[in-house]
Amino acid sequence: MVSNVWARSFAGTEIARRKAWGGRDDLRVECDTASSTSMCNIGQHDLEPILRPPASGTGRASGSAPNCSN
């Protein structure tokens, strides 16, 4: 995982991008050794259809914040 990206939505404009853990070649072996699974990357076009149905069921798919007062 080379980059962390901040955006308002999956399809939104990119706000910021920063190097993520595991993005440096010298850390690859350390990350692989410490992890129970190998790193993988899934594109937005593949991930969004997986996340959308469960998110729609919560009533928060429009981007509304969860109720944190409970």
Per-residue pLDDT tens for 12-69? 888 998 877 656 777 778 877 888 887 677 878 888 888 888 888 776 655 554 544 4
Of 10 and 36, the structure prediction assigns the larger pLDDT to: 36
Is residue 11 situated within a structural domain? Answer: yes
Of 10 and 15, the structure prediction assigns the larger pLDDT to: 15
What's at 3, amino acid-wise? S
Is residue 17 situated within a structural domain? Answer: yes
Is residue 3 situated within a structural domain? Answer: yes
Dmax (CA) of the chain: 44
Please give the pLDDT value at position 61. 53
Q: Are the beta carbons of 55 and 9 closer than 8 angstroms?
A: no
Look-up of token digits 């850390």: 27
Record the pTM.
Answer: 0.35
Is residue 24 situated within a structural domain? Answer: yes
Tell me the C-alpha distance between 63 and 4, whole Å: 20
Q: Domain total for the chain?
A: 1
Please give the pLDDT value at position 3. 80
Question: Which range marks the domain in which residue 28 is found?
Answer: 1-37
Is residue 68 situated within a structural domain? Answer: no
